[in-house]
């Protein structure tokens, strides 16, 4: 090798060394954060189990807006209402993207998921469709089936209380499988870091179990989603409409610019996301009522004074139940179902105060940290519904609540969940029914008779945070109410008849 060639090689190696030295380092204008290590940044300390806990701990040390470096990638964590408003709510046009996730690419390919699709014309068309179909006013049309489903759940609790945990999520078994498998693939560590080491993309499937799992999820989704759409199309063609929102979408399909596949995935996305978030909320609600019996008794007393025993609750009753509204908000705060929401990304460099957030950063909405923020909430780790009796957002007296909301679990900015009205109606109906109809108590040891506490920290985080299976003693509050539940369930048959086979998977669907 000539002296000139050796010199060029030396210069090249110096350049590579310089470039690698900067990889993983925090740029000067970034928000502060934990110390980084060359090349890997904070990868060695990034939490993969219940990450919201560590991210909240770091927020106390580094501030409401701080940064992490995952190799060359930048993650910005926002942990206060003011930070969310500044970073996301006021920058909708540039902070509404979704970061690239290899697990999502494996599952969906060219298919479109409303929650995970990047910001752009396709997302806008889907969002407009759902906004029209599931607005607050439109959701009132869906109350009959929501009442029937809530009655079904009361009946299941009454007849088989031991299986309450599965009753809460009994719509379609495939939905539960779908959420679990997707969660396994998109959570930290679910797939290799393709963004950092692209060559890992080409590992053969026999050595890449995540690829086989993604193929399984995709096949399950297409069978389920396309089957449901085919059932709806058949009903419309045979003039057997039942008023479901997909009928409105089909009627305006050309106007919305959606093809068969987009509509099918829209059905599946809304059904899966809605069923999962509502189910995990209700499981936490039951656990909290059994654990905090004084709160349960007070809420039941309020319900009894407003609704009485001669009828079951209606959704409008919630306006006359201020303490129950406080309980609902406190469960949302105490155990948010989406403690880190769904990540955002920015399409341009953004200056936030003295910081610059570079284009294509991942923005994490730290819902857990917001609702544990000691500047806003007194004793944030305690379950205290009365905080919402003293102020709209449950905050300390005199706190500036600019930007604060009680529903961060539904997201923020332009990506806030468009189905939140429907989900809130379902939650309200079910929690009113639960407390009107049943007493919830912690179980007792079969030998000693001592109460067995429910561990409210025994949770699993996939796409949502939910309690692992637990035992609860559930009994009807009176025989009269038990008989009323049976009568209401029998009467709901006519409503259910309109939706017969609604969740039956059509094996001859157009899935591929």
- The DSSP result for 404-444, as a single string, is --S-GGG--GGGS-TTHHHHHHHHHHHHHHHHHHEEEE--B
Would 507 be classed as within a structural domain? Answer: no
Which pLDDT belongs to residue 177? 56
Tokens matching residue 105 = 């690419």
Establish if 13 belongs to a structural domain: no
What is the C-alpha separation between 85 and 359, in angstroms, rounded? 19
The residue among 512, 451, 480 whose CA lies nearest residue 293 is 451
Question: Rounded to whole angstroms, how far apart are CA atoms 386 and 212?
Answer: 49
Q: How far apart are CA 20 and CA 321, in angstroms?
A: 60
Region 430-434 average pLDDT: 98
CA dist 401 to 80, 317, 349, 364, 404, Å? 10, 27, 28, 21, 5
> Looking at residue 170, what is its pLDDT?
61
Residue 506 located in a structural domain: no
User: What pLDDT does 346 receive?
Assistant: 96
pLDDT of residue 495: 84
Does residue 17 sit within a domain?
Answer: no
The per-residue pLDDT for range 321-357, each reduced to its tens digit, is: 999 999 999 999 999 999 999 999 999 999 999 999 9
How many domains does the chain contain in total? 1
Give the pair of three-digit tokens for residue 254: 């050309």
Q: State how far the Cα of 116 lies from the Cα of 119, in Å rounded to an integer.
A: 9
Pairing of strands 344-345, 362-365: antiparallel
Q: How confident is the model at residue 103 (pLDDT cuts 50, 70, 90)?
A: confident
Which residue bears the tokens 């309450």?
Answer: 164
- Which of 88, 12, 168 minimizes the C-alpha distance to 367? 88
pLDDT of 505 over the 50 cut = no
In a domain, residue 278? The reply is yes
Confidence of residue 408 (pLDDT cuts 50, 70, 90): very high
Q: Reduced to 3 states, what is the DSSP secondary structure of residue 129?
A: helix
Average pLDDT for 433-453: 95
Domain that holds residue 97: 22-498
* Two tokens, residue 369: 């940290």
Distance CA(471)–CA(162), nearest Å, equals: 8
Q: Is 296 helix (H, G, I), strand (E, B) or coil?
A: helix
- CA-based torsion, 285, 289, 294, 296: positive or negative: positive
70 in the Ramachandran plot: left (φ > 0), alpha (ψ -120 to 50) or beta? beta
Residue among 184, 168, 145 at smallest CA distance from 502: 145
240 located within any domain: yes
- In this prediction, residue 511 carries a pLDDT of 37
Question: Between 321 and 421, where is the model more confident?
Answer: 321
Q: What is the CATH number of the domain that holds 30?
A: 1.10.630.10
Query: How far are the Cα atoms of 234, 241, 510 from residue 237, in angstroms, in the given order?
Result: 5, 9, 17
Q: What is the pLDDT of residues 17-74, one digit of tens each?
A: 444 456 678 999 999 999 999 888 999 999 988 999 999 999 999 999 999 999 889 9
pLDDT of 506 above 50: no
CA geometry: angle at 405 spanning 403 and 410, to 5°? 120
For residue 512, the model assigns a pLDDT of 38
Which pLDDT band holds residue 240 (cuts at 50, 70, 90)? confident
Compute the distance between CA of residue 411 and CA of residue 273 in angstroms, rounded to an integer. 13
Does 95 score more than 90 pLDDT?
yes
Cβ neighbourhood burial of 423 (10 Å; 0-12, 13-18, 19+)? buried
| 262-315 confidence digits (pLDDT tens) | 999 998 888 888 888 899 999 999 999 999 999 999 999 999 999 999 999 999
Provide mean pLDDT across the span 471-486. Answer: 97
Contacts of 194 (CB under 8 A, 6+ apart): 102, 200, 201
Which tokens go with 445? 């040891």
For 75, the 3-state DSSP assignment is strand
Domain-embedded: residue 441: yes
What gap in Å lies between CA 481 and CA 231, rounded to an integer? 36
| CA diameter of the chain | 98
Q: Which of 19-23, 189-193, 384-388, 473-477 has the lowest mean pLDDT?
A: 19-23
Given the DSSP bridges, would you call strands 73-78 and 438-441 parallel, antiparallel or unpaired? unpaired
pLDDT band at 504 (very low <50, low <70, confident <90, very high): very low
Q: Output the pLDDT for position 216.
A: 84
Burial class (CB in 10 A: 0-12, 13-18, 19+), 333: buried
- Please report which confidence band the pLDDT of residue 429 belongs to, taking 50, 70 and 90 as the band edges: very high
- Report if residue 208 sits inside a domain: yes
CA distance 512 to 493: 35
- Per-range mean pLDDT, top range of 21-30, 248-257, 374-383: 374-383
């Amino acid at each position: 090798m000539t002296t000139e060639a050796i010199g060029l090689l030396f210069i090249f190696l110096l350049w590579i060394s310089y470039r690698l030295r900067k990889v993983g380092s925090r740029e000067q204008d970034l928000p502060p954060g934990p110390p980084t290590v060359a090349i890997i940044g904070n990868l060695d300390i990034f939490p993969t189990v219940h990450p919201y806990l560590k991210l909240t701990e770091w927020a106390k040390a580094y501030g409401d807006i701080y940064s992490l470096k995952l190799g060359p990638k930048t993650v910005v964590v926002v942990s206060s209402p003011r930070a969310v408003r500044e970073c996301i709510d006021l920058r909708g046009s540039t902070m509404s993207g979704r970061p690239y996730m290899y697990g999502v690419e494996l599952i969906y390919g060219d298919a479109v998921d409303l929650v995970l699709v990047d910001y752009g014309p396709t997302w806008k068309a889907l969002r407009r469709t759902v906004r029209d179909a599931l607005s607050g006013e439109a959701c009132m049309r869906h109350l009959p089936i929501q009442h029937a489903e809530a009655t079904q759940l009361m009946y299941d609790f009454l007849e088989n209380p031991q299986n309450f945990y599965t009753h809460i999520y009994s719509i379609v078994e495939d939905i539960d499988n779908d959420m679990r498998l997707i969660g396994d693939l998109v959570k930290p560590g679910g797939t290799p870091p393709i963004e950092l080491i692209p060559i890992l993309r080409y590992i053969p499937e026999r050595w890449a179990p995540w690829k086989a799992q993604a193929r399984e999820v995709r096949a399950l989704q297409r069978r389920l989603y396309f089957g449901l759409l085919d059932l709806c199309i058949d009903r419309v063609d045979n003039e057997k409409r039942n008023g479901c929102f997909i009928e409105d979408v089909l009627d305006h399909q050309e106007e919305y610019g959606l093809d068969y596949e987009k509509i099918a995935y829209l059905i599946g996305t809304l059904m899966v996301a809605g069923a999962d978030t509502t189910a995990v909320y209700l499981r936490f609600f039951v656990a909290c009522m059994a654990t905090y019996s004084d709160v349960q008794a007070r809420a039941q007393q309020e319900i009894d004074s407003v609704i009485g025993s001669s009828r079951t609750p209606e959704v409008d009753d919630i306006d006359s139940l201020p303490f129950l509204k406080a309980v609902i908000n406190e469960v949302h705060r105490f155990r948010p179902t989406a403690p880190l929401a769904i990540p955002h990304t920015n399409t341009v460099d953004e200056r936030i105060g003295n910081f610059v957030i570079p284009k294509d950063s991942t923005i994490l909405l730290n819902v857990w940290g917001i609702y544990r923020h000691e500047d806003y909430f007194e004793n944030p780790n305690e379950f205290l519904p009365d905080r919402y009796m003293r102020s709209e957002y449950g905050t300390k007296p005199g706190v500036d609540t600019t930007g604060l909301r009680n529903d961060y679990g539904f997201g923020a900015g332009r990506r806030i969940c468009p189905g939140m009205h429907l989900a809130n109606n379902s939650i309200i109906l079910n929690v009113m029914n639960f407390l009107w109809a049943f007493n919830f108590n912690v179980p007792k040891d079969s030998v000693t008779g001592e109460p067995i506490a429910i561990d409210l920290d025994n949770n699993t985080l996939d796409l949502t945070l939910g309690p692992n299976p637990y035992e609860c003693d559930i009994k009807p509050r009176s025989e009269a109410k038990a008989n009323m539940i049976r009568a209401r369930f029998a009467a709901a048959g006519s409503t259910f008849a309109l939706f017969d086979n609604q969740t039956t998977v059509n094996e001859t669907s157009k899935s591929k």
